[in-house]
Chains A and B, each alone.
Chain A
């Protein structure tokens, strides 16, 4: 069974978003997504200050098996990208909800996300 955490929200495209409570959000891919993709070998991330519109593909995670786009859940500005992933993309596999986060961004709220419970239901 894939792990789904209660403290954050989810998208249909298997991203998780954690509200940091200060107008910033942290985002990554879910346990379900990393398991499906398999060994991560490369992560292409935007830089701090980059902007993306809702639904833009603004990151790419590449496993041995496939490349997968990561989509902006809102109109946003990137605050920080996880530089650790440059040398250690496998953190997305081993710690997708903690050390393997992808980006932190600023946004004026986010709408239309799923609760942990609803997301878990989609995985059944």
Chain B
């Protein structure tokens, strides 16, 4: 099993370690729910070093990314600006979702998912054939996500010099400081930073953050936080066979520049012209119980399926994301353990910046 540079720190902190796509990672450090509330009300940190940073350099770096991903990197004009996108296969399915950061026209940084890294890098290398671009996975970088309303204050207290370079950063922007790359991004619906740093500095930085009062949080809380925030998860809301048009990710696709012939564009346009039949909605269970992945959803316009179901610690109710026929609204029923139970269809996100929105 693979370990991040923070493995020992997790074990020392009582982390309950589980196999997460070949990585031994902390599910929680005692209580997933306490960790969840910690992030919503104060600040928590996650080891996300298993995710992979890939740098793209060269005179055709930009031209390459314009064909590789479905969003348009031409939107990125200032150093550190970030863009969320999917990279698609020829049939318009999602190879992975990612964030790309602009450094300059010949230098971009991308963060891809852990479980898809091998597949992604093979895919990227295959697409890069014929472009003057170097594709450089940075396996020696660790990544710590510090999230919560007090994340900025605590990061500035723990890490000297960061406030000077990142104090004025707007959301979805990043700054460099020595070997650190500090992005005001996250996956919880709260403010915070994702900090990329050399693996040798990871344990020291983790300890400094601990001393500043940032509590470690595991993958369990990360999942309920992202679900409340209505954010898509690769492998759940999207995969190689699902179009972003059917994953509520239409906003991440840019078809404006007709000359930009990115991989999957033809398939996307064909699906759009023929009519998109499914989308992702939010569900709130009316009664008691917990919604689980893959449960059947019965709506007035046809059946769908839960893509991510769990319990919302912030709302004290079961919530879910589900792929349902386009046009499903109002109430629906979920098949739970051979019973049909009532749920309400809502528009995600459920929670943002500590507030319940549905």
Q: Which residue of chain B is the closest to A62 with respect to CB atoms?
A: B290
Q: When A44-B289, A65-B220 are in contact, do A60 and B337 touch as well, CB less than 8 Å?
A: yes
Q: Is B119 an interface residue (CB 8 A)?
A: no
B33 touches A39 (CB 8 A): yes
Q: Is B310 an interface residue (CB 8 A)?
A: yes
Q: Is A114 an interface residue (CB 8 A)?
A: no
The count of chain A contact residues (Cβ–Cβ below 8 Å) is: 13
Minimum CB–CB distance from B286 to chain A (whole Å) comes to: 14
A42 touches B288 (CB 8 A): yes
Residue-wise, chain A 57-86 has the 8 Å CB interface mask toward B (1 for contact) of: 000101011110000000000000000000
Contact residues of A between 22 and 69, Cβ < 8 Å to B: 38-39, 41-42, 44, 60, 62, 64-67
B311 touches A41 (CB 8 A): yes
Residue-wise, chain B 261-301 has the 8 Å CB interface mask toward A (1 for contact) of: 00000000000000000000000000011101000000000
B27 neighbours in A (Cβ, 8 Å) = 38
Residue-wise, chain B 28-58 has the 8 Å CB interface mask toward A (1 for contact) of: 1001110000000000000000000000000
Q: Which of B224, B290, B310, B337 has the most CB of A within 10 A?
A: B290
Minimum CB–CB distance from B67 to chain A (whole Å) comes to: 41
State which of A44, A64, A90 has its C-beta within 8 Å of the C-beta of B310: A64
Q: Which of A41, A64, A66, A67 has the most CB of B within 10 A?
A: A64
Q: Which of A41, A44, A66, A67 has the most CB of B within 10 A?
A: A41
Residue-wise, chain B 220-250 has the 8 Å CB interface mask toward A (1 for contact) of: 1000100000000000000000000000000
A binding-site residues for B, Cβ under 8 Å:
38-39, 41-42, 44, 60, 62, 64-67, 90, 93
For the complex of A and B, 9 pairs with smallest distance between CB atoms: A41-B311, A39-B33, A62-B290, A64-B311, A39-B32, A42-B288, A64-B32, A39-B31, A38-B32
B binding-site residues for A, Cβ under 8 Å:
27-28, 31-33, 220, 224, 288-290, 292, 310-311, 313, 318, 337
